[in-house]
Amino acid sequence: MGTDVLLRRQRAGRSALPAVVDGQIKVGTLNSFADGAWNDPSSWDFDPLHPEANHDTVVGAHQITVAADGAAASLSIDDSLGRIAVNADRNLVVGETLSVSGTLEIGSDAAASAGTDATIAGSGALRIGVNGGQQGDGNGRLSAGGNVAIAGEVALIVEDRFADNAPNYDKPWGDYPLTVVEATGAGAISGTFAVKPAAGEHLGHGLFFQAMDYTDAKAAKALVFQAIPGDVNGDRSFDFQDLIAMFSQSGPDYGKNVGDKTWPIGDFTGDGNFMFDDLIAAFSNAGPSYGQPTYLGTTETEPPQDGELRLIYDQATGRLVLDTQGMELFALSIESAAGQLQVTPEAASLLHGFADLAGEDLLFKLDLTGMGDLDFGNVLATMLSHSDLTADLSVTAVPVTGGTIEDVGFVVNAVPEPGTVLMLLCGLAAWLLRRRR
């Protein structure tokens, strides 16, 4: 045992020698010594030479992170400033009792378990990581084989992005419960959390808190609601009021790469920005339920078929026309990887709406009432080939029925080759000559 370890133990007023208790080797109580990782000896007041599961462990006013699975014989966070954070997908296994007077944070898909009883004291806080798109399957959880007494605070931390879990026509939104505390053995849960999120509070990434449910003696559950993209206030409707909230809060940052925006300000794709692709996500998911009192329980239409739209390009003038073939659209974006779009006066007059964008790399139009064919004017260079267009331009359309169309057909109105023009002129001259005879 090193000199620094002996000094730390002497300052703590304990023997440096191990003991045998109930047939197990124990080295007294393991106390936190500094902020650090659970499995780092420098975090504790002596080097745990023996298996961690044999130690009664106490965390004082320190921040301990469980970055790899950890274990203890018993565990107490006995200082209100103390904190243990169990990272996502990790486990902290306590053989006997677990007591929390500070903060216990359990990441998504992580668990902290006590073999006997567990207590969240009045000064304690339980912070639960939530995977927003998993409908209750991916949140952190505290469990105990005996009784669980709760009295302090509970908080829910949404760790995942809605867009990562919500492709079109696979909607995870709606009401669902999150089990945050569970009595897995013969015991039961007693008490309630004195501090919790407010009803309707936005937790992050479109997840809204509703209430705590203690009706099951074996489980304390947080009732939450996952909104769809576009519903920024969690009122179960995506309408013009949501658009007003997005644009009023984002101000001049709409369409800019700023990286600090959240769900209430229109970031539905998880990149920290409020951009045209967020509006595409909102309208493609809402479809015909946009502006309705609720989007829950609406009948989904069949996904739109790719290839139903055409972009018609004229080689002689650079004119670009969208042919929807009778389909009504909420939104359309045309992106140029090479930045070769030209914002002509004709295009500017078309793209004048509050959400429309026009630049060298993007043309975006939104029409809340639905739109049909669009004539953008001469926004491209002349004499581009079909392969030039398909290599540079990417198109996303949102029908009013919902979903997105990205496979848009390109039609090129070609300028005749010089030889072809000459042959036509010669043929015309011969025809005129015969007419004169």
Q: Are residues 245 and 221 in the same domain?
A: no
Q: What is the pLDDT of residue 27?
A: 53
Cα-Cα-Cα-Cα dihedral of 416, 421, 424, 429, to 10°? Answer: 160
Give, in order, the Cα–Cα distances in Å from 63 to each of 36, 55, 58: 6, 18, 12
- Long-range (24+ apart) CB contacts under 8 A made by 337-345 are 337/361, 337/391, 337/392, 337/393, 337/394, 338/392, 340/380, 340/381, 340/392, 341/379, 341/380, 342/318, 342/378, 342/379, 342/380, 342/381, 343/379, 344/377, 344/378, 344/379, 345/377
231 located within any domain: no
Q: What is the pLDDT of residue 55?
A: 85
Q: What is the pLDDT of residue 99?
A: 98
d(CA 118, CA 145) in angstroms, rounded, equals 9
Residue 366 has φ and ψ, to the nearest 5°, of: -125, 130
Q: What is the pLDDT of residue 13?
A: 46
Residue 205 has φ and ψ, to the nearest 5°, of: 55, 35
Q: Are residues 201 and 257 in the same domain?
A: no
Q: Are residues 71 and 201 in the same domain?
A: yes
Q: Which two tokens stand for residue 33?
A: 């010594």
Residue range 239-264: average pLDDT? 94
Q: How far is CA 253 from the centre of its chain?
A: 20
Residue 48 has φ and ψ, to the nearest 5°, of: -70, 90
What total of structural domains would you count in the chain? 3
273 located within any domain: yes
Q: What is the pLDDT of residue 54?
A: 72
Above 60 in pLDDT, residue 152? Answer: yes
Q: What is the pLDDT of residue 302?
A: 52
Q: How confident is the model at residue 361 (pLDDT cuts 50, 70, 90)?
A: very high
Q: Are residues 255 and 361 in the same domain?
A: no
Tell which residue, 138, 133, 120, has the closest CA to residue 183: 120
Q: What is the pLDDT of residue 20?
A: 46
Q: Are residues 178 and 322 in the same domain?
A: no
- Structural domain including 128 reads 3-226
Q: How confident is the model at residue 158 (pLDDT cuts 50, 70, 90)?
A: confident
363 located within any domain: yes
Q: What is the pLDDT of residue 418?
A: 55
185 located within any domain: yes
d(CA 268, CA 165) in angstroms, rounded, equals 11
162 located within any domain: yes
Percentage of the chain modeled with pLDDT above 90: 66
Q: Are residues 89 and 204 in the same domain?
A: yes
Q: Are residues 17 and 77 in the same domain?
A: yes
3-class DSSP state of 286: helix
Above 60 in pLDDT, residue 162? Answer: no
Q: Are residues 358 and 280 in the same domain?
A: no
Residue range 389-404: average pLDDT? 93
Q: How confident is the model at residue 416 (pLDDT cuts 50, 70, 90)?
A: low
Pick the most confident of 51-65, 157-171, 363-377, 395-409: 363-377
296 located within any domain: no
Q: How confident is the model at residue 28 (pLDDT cuts 50, 70, 90)?
A: low
426 located within any domain: no
Pick the most confident of 49-63, 129-143, 176-190: 176-190
Q: Are residues 256 and 399 in the same domain?
A: no
Q: Which two tokens stand for residue 215?
A: 């009706």
**Lowest model confidence (mean pLDDT) among 41-45, 130-134, 173-177, 269-273:** 130-134
Q: Are residues 201 and 74 in the same domain?
A: yes
Residue range 414-431: average pLDDT? 55
Q: Are residues 264 and 337 in the same domain?
A: no
* Domain end among 203, 226, 249: 226
pLDDT in tens, 46-80: 766 555 567 899 999 999 999 999 999 999 999 99
Residues 6+ apart with CB under 8 A from 42: 33, 34, 36
Q: Are residues 158 and 198 in the same domain?
A: yes
Tell which residue, 61, 73, 3, has the closest CA to residue 32: 61
Tell which residue, 329, 423, 340, 429, has the closest CA to residue 378: 340
pLDDT in tens, 286-342: 888 899 888 765 444 455 555 579 999 999 999 999 999 999 999 999 999 999 999
Q: 224 - beta bridge partners?
A: 176, 209
- Long-range (24+ apart) CB contacts under 8 A made by 248-257 are 250/274, 254/355, 255/357
Above 60 in pLDDT, residue 25? Answer: no
Strands (DSSP E) contained in 101-218 are 103-106, 111-114, 118-120, 125-130, 141-144, 148-150, 153-158, 174-183, 189-190, 202-204, 207-213
Q: What is the pLDDT of residue 173?
A: 80
303 located within any domain: no
